Each structure stands twice: as structure tokens, then as C-alpha cells.
Amino acid sequence: MKFPKALNIFTLFCMISCGATNAQDLDEEFTHLPDSLRIKILDRDAVFSVQEARDLVNFRRSMGDTLVPRESAPDTTIIPKDSLFGTHVNPLIVGTEVLGLNAFVWAWDYWVLDKSYAHTGPSYWKRNFREGWEWDHNHWAINFYGHPYQGSMYYATARGGGYGFYGSMAFAALGSSTWEMFCETEYPAPNDLISTTVAGSMFGEVLYRLSRASYNGSKVPWYRHLLAFALEPAGYAQRRVFGNRDFYTGWTPIELTVATGIGSRFGSDYRFGGEDADELDAEWNDRHGMMAVSLEYGRPYTRVRRPFDYFTLNFFGESGLEGKVLQMDIMGKLVNRGIHGRGHWLDFSVNLDYDTFYGDLATVSTLSLGGAMDIALWLTPNLRFRVMNQVYWIMLGSADMGYDDIIQEFHPDYKPDKDSYQYNSGVKYSLMIETLYKRWRIYNKTTIDAMKTIEGTTAEYGVSGWDFLLLNNTAVEYRLFSWLDLGHRLDTYVKMAAYSSEYAEPMSRRIHAFSWYLNFHLLGS
């Protein structure tokens, strides 16, 4: 990752130095370069592609230029001009591709898998237009992982055709709405439309960026193209057919770490009405293995020119003999303003956030829009402090009821599964504090959700009311090598519920877990 940094700073160096250099001298110095590059060097506003920057760096080094940095350089990004604006693929073609994708998936479900929901037709279409939309309670993983991924395919088809974030989101909405209306026997569901369109666009932009970065350059080995296709098949195919019409920001710094370790859960309890009423969670006091993936795209101290020029992706998985937990969080900046300097910044941003907590303990999701204030200071050469406050409106949330055993006492025919949840709206607050001191990193993030059931969204035998959730992660890491940390983390999950029901008394649920782990730095520093 160090070499692209050198490319970037050299590009900027060329752009700045050209204004103070005589054109004749430049012509003589770069006489062996292509005319297109020589013209760009004389243009103060020119922006160099990654390959052009490589060519210039190699040329200057071959000439013995000692000004070309080799080991380190400021973190900058090559931002190409929007010279491709207006060259996007015809919207009728993209729309047809989106509808064709729906037709292919429906045909597969109908003819190959013989899914009952695929046996739709004109009678169902008339019903959908006549009777309208209805909240569904399909399996939680289908609604909150499957639908966003389906939406990412619609999004990628448009994104690979040269459309921006919001334009591609419109095509995701087209794909989702037509699927809901014409491709299922179930009533069209507003939760699916929101999840597929908004969360799908977030998934799509993240996968687009990573796919595009994986094969940037003129001579890329086949396995990187294979990776790009695996990450985003629809967008990759679109670019191969119609060419690179998308607006790609060139090289962008990516930090990727993967952690693996072992630990144990403890302190779990399950209470109704303030009394110990259930030993259900006693089984959660067991040992577990864990894996975590953390990815940061871009730098938090840079100006966001396009949505998701900066985003973070975090995944945490924990599995023991008695159950598993999967957490995933995506946060992307839409716009930002502030004071951005090397190592110091005060950043105000508008973000999209998608957070899920899925497993045997709980099923929770929040799709949110809000703002953040991010402050970082180098207090001394060896000490950095960072704090970030985030406040969000939860436009669509979900939470399991947690009363399965109690509901069964009143309704023996009730069968608890991953369909037993309700939809919520509310507010989210997150506080992150990070301290770096020499080789040490101390990190803490606390997230609080306050959600109220959206009227008319409860499942069969469901109850409505308030859900309060707290997730906390504290970690201490020590840098053993440039590529490896030794860490210890403590995770806490707390849920409190107050539902309006004759049998659903106030409920609380709590569990803690600690883990020892090794954290591998695969990309970045």
C-alpha cells in the first residue's frame, strides 16, 4: 500500500511544480513521454490516472530523481474529473437489465426450485394493485441479509453503467418495487422495499468500491478479476460489456484487519418483571471461538466528494457449543464538512448506517440516517485521542420479541422461529473513544437503540411497545509487529422491553463475553 501513496504525492508534486516551471524546460525533460502526458503536465488543473502516475514515477526514478518518495507520503487520493458525465449507459438499457434480472431470478425460483411464492400471475398482480401493501415476517435473515444483497445487484447494474449513488438507488427501487408487485404470490411489503432499496444501495456501493479497487490498473492478474467478479458480478459484467463508464476515484487507502481468537461468555440472565423467572440463558455461559473483520475505506480526515468516499465495514462472529452471534455494521459518509489536517480533524458528516445483530440470543437490525461529529488530536508525537458521537433516526428497525416461552403458555400452537419479530422506528446514539499510545490501542464503542413498534407490523401473537438495546465493545490491543496485534475484548449485550400486553411483563436480557485474539493487518498500516 505504500507505493500508491508515493504515486499520489508525486502526482500532486507534478501539478504544483508545473506552475513554476518553464514549459520549454518541461518539454525537454519529458521528451520521451507520450504527448498526452506532456500536455497534462503543463495543465495545473489536470488530474492524473493511476496508470499515468505510475508512468511518471517510473520515468522520474529512471532519471535518478531523488524527490520521488519511496517509503512514505501523505495520504491523498487521486480524484479524476467527471469527464465521463453524460456517457452513462442508456437508462432504458439499464432498466431493461434490472427487469431482466428479476425475470431470471423468478424463472429460477419457478422452474428449478419450484418455490410456492413464485407461482404468481395476473390474478395476484390485480390483487396487489387493488389491496395494496402489507408488512411481511419472512425469516429474519432473508429480510435483512437476503433483500439487501438482492438490492445490491440492481444497484450495481446501474453503478457499473456510469450512474452515481442516488441514480443507482433509483434503479434499486425500480427492481425492488417490480419484484414485490409481480414476482411473488405474497403481498408487496414496504419493509422489503426499504431494505432492498436503501440497505441494498449501501451493500452495492461497498461491493462496487471493493470490486473496482481489486482490478484497478492496466495489467492485473486473472485472480484479481475473479475476485472483482465474486464481489460484484452484476457491476463487473456491466463494465466489461460497456467499458469503464463509472466514476472511480482511483487509488484509495484501505485498511483491512482480520482477528481470530477464543473466549468465554458469562453473567447471562433473563428476567421478567424484575424477578429471575427463566434459566434459558444459563446455557450461554460457555466457551466460544470468535472472528472479526474490520475494513476502513478512505481516510476520516479527507473531504467526501461523493457518497461513500469514506466508509467502514465491521463484522464480528462468535460461536460456541450453545449458540452463535453475528454482528455486522456498515457506515458510509454522504457529505461532510470540517477542518481536516494530517492527524488532526474536526469532521461533521451526514451518514447512512446499517447495523445487525443476529443469532440464537437475539435478532436486531437498524437502518438509520443521521449525523456524526468526529474529533481527533495528536496530543503528543506518541499519543493520539479520538472521539466520535453519532446520532441517528432509525428509519427501519427490527427486534425479536423475547417472549417465546411466555407466548406458548397462552397460545400452545405458537412455534417460535426467526419470523417472530416486529418492525420499529426510533433513535440511535453511538459513542466511540479511541486512544493510541506508542504500541497500545484502547478502544470503546457504546451503542444505544430506543425503538417503538410501528403500528400494524407485529407478527402473529406478537406484542407491541418499546425496545431498548445496548451494545458495548471494549478492546485493548498491543502491536507486536507491524502486521500483528495481540488483543483482548469485552462485549456486552443488554435488551430491555416494555410491551403493552396482558402477559408480556417488562423484560430484560443480558450477556457478557470476553475474548483473547490475534489481529492481523492484511492491508494498510
Q: Is the pLDDT of residue 157 over 80?
A: yes
CA 100 vs CA 179, 230, 410: distances in Å: 11, 20, 47
CA torsion through residues 265, 270, 276, 278, sign: negative
DSSP characters for 24-87?
HHHHHHTTTS-HHHHHHHT-TT----HHHHHHHHHHHHHTT-TTS-SS----------STTTT-
| Lowest-pLDDT range of 39-48, 91-100, 336-345, 503-512 | 39-48
Bridge partners, residue 471, by sequence: 447, 493
CA 497 vs CA 140, 340, 363, 515: distances in Å: 19, 41, 14, 28
Average pLDDT for 366-371 = 97
Q: Is the pLDDT of residue 35 over 50?
A: yes
Q: Is the pLDDT of residue 404 over 60?
A: yes
Architecture of domain 254-523: Beta Barrel (2.40)
Average pLDDT for 468-488 = 96
pLDDT-derived band at 47, boundaries 50, 70, 90: low
Bridge partners, residue 314, by sequence: 294, 329
CB atoms within 10 A of CB 493: 22
pLDDT at res. 209: 92
pLDDT at res. 2: 38
pLDDT at res. 448: 96
According to DSSP, residue 144 is labeled I
Average pLDDT for 215-240 = 87
SS3 371: strand
| Lowest-pLDDT range of 257-261, 420-424, 446-450 | 420-424
pLDDT: which is higher, 372 or 493: 372
Residues of the chain with CATH 2.40.128: 254-523
What is the chain's alpha carbon radius of gyration, rounded to the nearest angstrom? 26
How many angstroms separate the CA atoms of 152 and 202, rounded? Answer: 8
pLDDT: which is higher, 225 or 341: 225
pLDDT at res. 216: 74
Task: Write down the pTM of the prediction.
Answer: 0.82
How many angstroms separate the CA atoms of 407 and 415, rounded? Answer: 9
Average pLDDT for 400-408 = 69
Q: Is the pLDDT of residue 334 over 50?
A: yes
**Owner of C-alpha cell 531523488:** 66
Alpha helices (H) along 366-486: 404-410
What is the residue-averaged pLDDT of the chain? 82
CA 363 vs CA 41, 312, 417, 434: distances in Å: 56, 22, 11, 28
pLDDT: which is higher, 19 or 90: 90
According to DSSP, residue 454 is labeled P
Are residues 97 and 157 in contact, defined by beta-carbon separation less than 8 angstroms? yes
Bridge partners, residue 390, by sequence: 372, 430
Average pLDDT for 132-160 = 93
Residue in 345, 268, 335 with CA at minimum distance from that of residue 307:
335
Percent of the chain topping pLDDT 70: 75
Residue in 428, 520, 431 with CA at minimum distance from that of residue 480:
520
Task: Give tens-digit pLDDT for 305-323.
Answer: 899 999 999 999 998 877 7
Average pLDDT for 318-332 = 88
How many angstroms separate the CA atoms of 353 and 86, rounded? Answer: 30
